[in-house]
Amino acid sequence: LKCDVCCAAFFVRIPQVPVAMNACHAAGECRASVASDVVALQSLLGDVRSQPIRRLRFPEDLPFGRFELEFASQSEPCIIEHLVDDWPSLHDSVCAWHSGDRWVDLLGETTLDCGFEPVDNRIMHFGDDEGEPDVLFNPGRLRMPTWAFFELGRLRQEILHLRHEEGCVDLKKHARLKSRLDREVWVQNTPFLQVEDEPALQYFCPISCRMRDLVPVSFYLSQDMHSLPEDLQDDVRPQATKLLKGWGAPISSRAWITNGGPWRTPYPAWSADSVPEPGADPMIYSCFHSDRMENLHTVISGQKQVVLVPPEHGGVLNATRFSKQRQWLLSPLSSHRGDAHYLGATSFISKQIECTSDQSAVHPFRSPEDNRRVSKGAWPDRVDFPLRVGILKPGDTLYLPAYHWHWVATSTPLAADTLDGGALAMSVNYWWWPIHNWSRMEEWSLRNEHESWKNARVPPHPAHHPPERSAHARAFRNLTSQKRAVAAAGSGAAPCVRQPCCQAYEVVD
């Protein structure tokens, strides 16, 4: 049978038809809401064609074997509902993550290295708007206690609640909030890029500041799950075991947590009576980029809007990893009288001219003129194929096949006016090394390499050259075989013995 509301196919025994129909219609209301959101998302793409990413409900729509046959082996993305209903991080009263209490209870003063962007909603972007098209603005990294990171989201939540109730925030009426904003915290810039110049080293000393200084900054934590306490690791589990056995152990896993887009710094910034104000855009965006691993990405709180470009059409993105590299920093500043202090944003240019992955300046929500300018006229004029678009809500899992270019807009529960849904957007993903379509993926990998060199915004190192076809094929197959052997042995990504503050940073999702 097929539901008239959500068009989902389902099987019932005849005596159970009334109950099954009611249950399906209830679920259909949720799917209808998501479908409406997807239509709204498609409208933001202008005249560029798009089609929704297929949604399936686990387990009824995915008997074992179907995921591999129709999706993994075909490099076909999909969104799976109810795949992680057994995750304690979503539903357990003690282990749920959305409030942040679980992390604070287990980590407390343990420091986290948090990516941050002080002024732009794009967590990583080329400097076309700033008149520096040959520069990639990389996120800064700020080391802070775990409690402080989650407190920043809660402070935003409290400020939004008071603005909703009272229209503005008068700290004279809210001594508790004022005390929380004035709380001292020690933070430290940490390098994301190579630092060769001695003058830049001064920015990497520990800094004492107030929580109010950090509230306007957009933070995006990308945390290696294997560096976290076992209790937190047990709150989530690799999703692929329910879908197919062949992937083996995951090669890597990360938790992604953000407080949303930048807010406006109050004036004067050093005043103990001023309150940060929400920015015009509450979302945070990642550049179009691609990964060479299979990805299952699950949302725990907040929402994600996803736009995908198939691997064979990545040329329209004008992506490259070769450019000057600039990293954001936070630096202590003084008031004009010198009697008060606050944090301001600055940056430094590294001698490094290569990013860890290819990035694109195309922003699918921006005007055709803007995108033509940054894509050498390719977007939207050469987008003669449908983009794939989808909405991820808590409990949804996106299957993102290897080499698919993806652009993601992340919203916190606060952005949806859900003040009781937690303060931060949270998600967890696991990566597996591909076992299907090796030949096609080798072609996509080689094409990406040559496109990156062709689109370079600064000349690559003269001693380096684009890979030759046969050499690239050998290297690709050798690496893939090695990674698959590790995954098949069941070892996967070994638990990390380093402290969280030492973890390598990866591009945001």
The tens digit of pLDDT for each residue in 215-244 reads 999 999 999 999 999 999 999 999 999 999
Which residues on adjacent β-strands are paired with residue 398?
79, 297
Q: How does DSSP classify residue 418?
A: -
Looking at residue 293, what DSSP letter applies? S
* Residue 212 phi, psi dihedral angles, 5° rounding: -60, -30
Query: What pLDDT is recorded for position 13?
Result: 36
List CB contacts of 378: < 8 A, sequence separation 6 or more: 315, 316, 317, 318, 372
- The reported pTM is 0.89
Give 264-302 pLDDT, tens digit per residue. 998 888 888 989 999 999 999 999 999 999 999 999 999
Predicted pLDDT at 151: 98
Task: Return the higher-pLDDT residue of 463 and 390.
Answer: 390
pLDDT band at residue 420, thresholds of 50, 70 and 90?
low
Alpha helices, H only, 134-199: 146-166, 175-181
In the chain, the percentage of residues whose pLDDT exceeds 70 is 88
Compute, in degrees rounded to 10, the torsion defined by CA atoms 190, 195, 200, 202: 50
Q: Give the Cα separation of 377 and 45 in Å (integer).
A: 16
SS3 501: helix
Q: Residue 469, CB half-sphere, CA atoms under 13 Å: how many?
A: 3
Give the position of tokens 């698959």: 484
pLDDT given at position 489: 83
Contacts of 493 (CB under 8 A, 6+ apart): 226, 249, 250, 251, 252, 253
User: Is a pLDDT exceeding 80 seen at residue 360?
Assistant: yes
Would you say residue 419 has pLDDT above 80?
Answer: no
Q: What is the mean pLDDT of residues 452-469?
A: 92
Round to whole Å and give the CA distance between 474 and 471: 5
**Among the listed residues 380, 324, 409, the one whose alpha carbon sits nearest the alpha carbon of residue 128:** 324
Query: Is the bond leading into 460 cis (omega within 30 degrees of zero)?
Result: no
**Angle, helices 438-454/469-489, rounded to nearest 10 degrees:** 130
pLDDT at site 27: 57
Identify whether the C-beta of residue 42 lies closer than 8 Å to the C-beta of residue 389.
yes
Sign of CA dihedral 63, 81, 51, 257: negative
For residues 169 and 276, is the Cβ–Cβ distance under 8 A? no
User: How confident is the model over 299-310, as a mean pLDDT?
Assistant: 97
Q: What's the confidence (pLDDT) of residue 425?
A: 97
- Cα–Cα dist 103/108, whole Å: 7
pLDDT of 175 > 60? The answer is yes
pLDDT of 195 above 80 = no
- Contact (Cβ atoms closer than 8 angstroms) between residue 126 and residue 291: no
